[in-house]
């Protein structure tokens, strides 16, 4: 149990990668374990929120106490998220593929010896966070993530504006940090009210602190 500052509130969370089909057996994707997004969904539920998690393909279990929807592609993820608005809270953690194959093949593309492989025509995927951040049914609190390898603060501020978010949780994913796919995370919170730097923590601890940050912001009725 514990305090339930999010009782009566609704939240939508995205997590994991998206898979963009090339043909029935091949796909394009970003690396993402889903650990951080799933932990955030669980942490919001623990504070009493009614949480829907929209998850791309991951190898981890659905979090307890959270309604989980499984999707593959960015467009499916976008549709699942938008159809659930309005919510009080949106936390977009998924590593959505920036591009999809313009015309994915209905049959497996055959490899022909001696022939050059067919080039892939890519087209841009919808930006789910940006859509939510500018939506007429925009949640009261919109949170995005930013995986950066340099200029974390500057890029975070730019992203905050562009996406229409209240908060960007930025982390350094340079290979030497070991954060990608790991169990720990080190983040900077870039919000409309300033920058906060958190120490390296377990992804579960980051999720708990973030859920508390959201509860405080929501309950103080802060407006943008």
Residues annotated as binding site for CTP? Answer: 98, 108, 126-129, 145, 159, 163
Q: Which residue of 93, 101, 160, 190 would you call a contact of ligand C5P, by CB under 6 A?
A: 93
Q: Tell me, rounded to whole angstroms, the distance of Cα 159 from its chain centroid.
A: 14
Footprint of ligand C5P on 162-191 (CB under 6 A):
none
Q: Which residue of 6, 11, 47, 74 would you call a contact of ligand C5P, by CB under 6 A?
A: 74
What crossing angle do the helices spanning 35-46 and 203-219 adopt, rounded to 10°? 50
Which regions of 56-213 does DSSP assign to beta strands (E)?
A: 67-70, 89-92, 99-101, 122-124, 141-148, 167-172, 184-185, 187-191, 194-197, 201-202
Within 10 angstroms of residue 38's Cβ, the number of other Cβ atoms is 26
Contact 142, 90 (CB under 8 A): yes
Q: Which residue of 145, 187, 210, 214 would you call a contact of ligand C5P, by CB under 6 A?
A: 145
Contact 108, 23 (CB under 8 A): yes
Q: Which residue of 39, 43, 44, 129 would you call a contact of ligand C5P, by CB under 6 A?
A: 129
Nearer to ligand C5P, 28 or 48 (CB): 28
Nearer to ligand C5P, 146 or 207 (CB): 146
Q: Does 144 bind ligand C5P (CB under 6 A)?
A: yes
- Interface residues toward ligand C5P, by CB under 6 A: 14, 74, 92-94, 96, 125, 127-129, 144-146, 159
């Amino acid at each position: 149990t514990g305090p339930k500052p999010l009782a009566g509130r609704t939240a939508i969370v995205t997590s994991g990668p998206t898979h963009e089909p090339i043909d029935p057996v091949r796909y394009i994707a970003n690396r993402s374990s889903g650990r951080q997004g799933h932990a955030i969904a669980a942490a919001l539920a623990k504070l009493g929120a009614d949480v829907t998690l929209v998850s791309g393909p991951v190898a981890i279990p659905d979090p307890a106490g959270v309604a989980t929807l499984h999707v593959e592609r960015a467009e499916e993820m976008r549709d699942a998220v938008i159809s659930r608005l309005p919510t009080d809270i949106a936390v977009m953690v998924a590593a959505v593929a920036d591009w999809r194959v313009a015309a994915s093949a209905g049959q497996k593309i055959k490899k022909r010896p001696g022939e050059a492989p067919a080039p892939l025509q890519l087209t841009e995927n919808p930006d789910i966070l940006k859509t939510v951040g500018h939506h007429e049914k925009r949640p009261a609190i919109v949170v995005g993530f930013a995986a950066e390898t340099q200029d974390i603060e500057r890029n975070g501020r730019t992203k905050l504006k562009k996406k229409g978010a209240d908060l960007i949780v930025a982390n350094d994913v340079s290979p030497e940090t070991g954060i990608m796919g790991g169990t720990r995370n080190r983040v900077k919170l870039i919000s409309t009210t300033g920058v906060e730097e958190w120490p390296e923590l377990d992804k579960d601890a980051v999720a708990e602190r973030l859920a508390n940050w959201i509860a405080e912001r929501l309950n103080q009725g802060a407006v943008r």
